[in-house]
Amino acid sequence: MALDQSVRDQMSDIMTRYPEARSAVMPMLHLAQSVEDEITPEAMRVIADMLGLTAAEVTAVATFYTMYKRRPVGKHHIGVCTNTLCAMLGGDAVYAALSERLGIGHNERDVDGTFWLERIECQAACTHAPVMTVDWEFMDCQTPTSALDVIDRLSRGEEVVSTRGPVIRDFQATEHTLAFPVDGLAGFGGEADAIMRAGLTVAKERGMSAPAGPEESG
């Protein structure tokens, strides 16, 4: 799907949100990806022209950040953290189970275009390792069995709710949210849970407190 005038109007809207227009390059790329399911050469040229940048400058951003894809992603992006902590707690096993079930490897899409699978270096969610994301929404404390259940339910068109966020929509919808974050979904998912508060809980039970800062000790 080409970037028609309505999409370009949305890009113009994004540009007005930044003191320096060039700062809009990343959300504009996410918007383009929400429409075309990938970052195309045409999209990079359009964004470059609108921002007064060279195509090379926009391409440099689109190829540096791994969230931007140069091939169609499909309906759902599945990311499995396999960095140190997640890997030690089972992330590699989760990834292997998904890879076998879907018949694809890293940064590949399955045959019917439903799932894209990616190894993720870090999801910044180590407290809930091993972590998987579906369209960038967290699915915490996964096992091979629970991860396979998620993709099976999505395949059947059933509702899947992320563990710290809203109902899973699809990759394109999440990409649109990354371009326009105020989507009414910020309140879904609740507050910090017991796993996040574990250190604080133990400290309170043991009567522990942080050392006094310079102003307090002086």
Q: What is the pLDDT of residues 63-85, one digit of tens each?
A: 999 999 999 999 999 999 999 99
What is the distance between the alpha carbons of residues 174 and 205, in angstroms, rounded to a whole number? Answer: 40
What number is the average pLDDT over the span 132-161?
97
What number is the average pLDDT over the span 180-193?
81
pLDDT surpassing 90 at residue 156: yes
pLDDT surpassing 90 at residue 215: no
Residue type for 209, please?
S
∠ CA 158-159-164 to the nearest 5 degrees?
A: 145
pLDDT surpassing 60 at residue 218: no
Q: Looking at the whole model, is its pTM more than 0.85?
A: yes
| Chain segment 21-66, per-residue pLDDT in tens | 999 999 999 999 999 999 999 999 999 999 999 999 999 999 999 9
What is the distance between the alpha carbons of residues 172 and 30, in angstroms, rounded to a whole number? Answer: 9
What number is the average pLDDT over the span 189-215?
83
Q: Sketch out the chain's domains with CATH numbers.
A: 5-64 (1.10.10.1590), 76-179 (3.40.30.10)
Q: How many helices (H) and strands (E) does the chain have?
A: 10, 5
Q: How confident is the model at residue 190 (pLDDT cuts 50, 70, 90)?
A: low
pLDDT at 199: 86
Q: How confident is the model at residue 174 (pLDDT cuts 50, 70, 90)?
A: very high
Residues in the chain: 218
Q: How confident is the model at residue 188 (pLDDT cuts 50, 70, 90)?
A: confident
What is the distance between the alpha carbons of residues 214 and 194, in angstroms, rounded to a whole number? Answer: 31
